[in-house]
Amino acid sequence: MWPEEEDLPGFYEAVKEYYAEVLDLARHLFRLFALSLNLPEDYFDPMTTHPGGIARLLYYPPPKHPLSGDSSPTVDAQIGLGAHSDYECFTLLLTSTTPGLEILKPSGQWHIASHLPDSLIVNVADFLMRWSNGLYKSTVHRVINRSNEPRYSVPFFFSSRSTTIPLLKLCQRAYRKARRVNGSLYALANISLRG
């Protein structure tokens, strides 16, 4: 449901234009992933012709008790979105003027992500991690608004179209048997597991 044009002039067109631009960027990023895996640049093109792509417009109100620096949240009310990983191939996150994204480092410590105005953060998601047999790691992250300001976020979740995709040969390892991955079934399983 969209607001009426007279209530929010230009909103629908701006969101539609943004969606088209990040969709093009996501397809280009898949070409870069292909090159990084020593595959032909267009390897993923057939799988991204009609991809799954969802953009969300999120609002995080300012917390009643803002946190300072790298202090840990003490109550759920301070956490805008708890620790999780995305289940698509990757997420493009338009940075906010109000920081809030935190990334779990391999050490188990949380890192407050840098936020450069008008830039994007790319988070690898579960499906690409599975598809690459762990060569690319899914990004565990959370959102904590540590400021006195509201936070707006525009994640774009990108996935391949609903096909069964063989595990990339480059990513096969002796200790893991190569299996085919069905994009739709993988996404549905993750949705049902996450409640």
Task: Tell me what the pLDDT averaged over the chain comes to.
Answer: 79
Residue at 40: amino acid letter:
P
Q: How confident is the model at residue 49 (pLDDT cuts 50, 70, 90)?
A: confident
DSSP 173: B
What pLDDT is stored for residue 175 in this prediction?
Answer: 35
Q: What is the rounded average pLDDT of the residues 163-191? A: 54
Whole-prediction pTM: 0.78
Is 4 inside any structural domain? no
Assign residue 189 the CATH number of its domain.
2.60.120.330
pLDDT beyond 90 at 122: yes
Considering the domain boundaries, does residue 105 fall inside one?
A: yes
- The answer to whether residue 109 sits within a structural domain is yes
Q: What's the structural domain count of the chain?
A: 1
Residues spanned by the domain of 166: 11-193
- The one-letter code for the residue type at 4 is E
**pLDDT for 23-48, tens place per residue?**
999 999 999 998 988 889 998 888 88
Task: Annotate 61-127 with DSSP letters as a single string.
Answer: PPPSS---TTPPP-SGGG-SEEEE--SSSEEEEEPPSS--EEEE-TTS-EEEPP--TT-EEEEE-HH
Integer-rounded Cα Rg, in Å, for the chain is 18
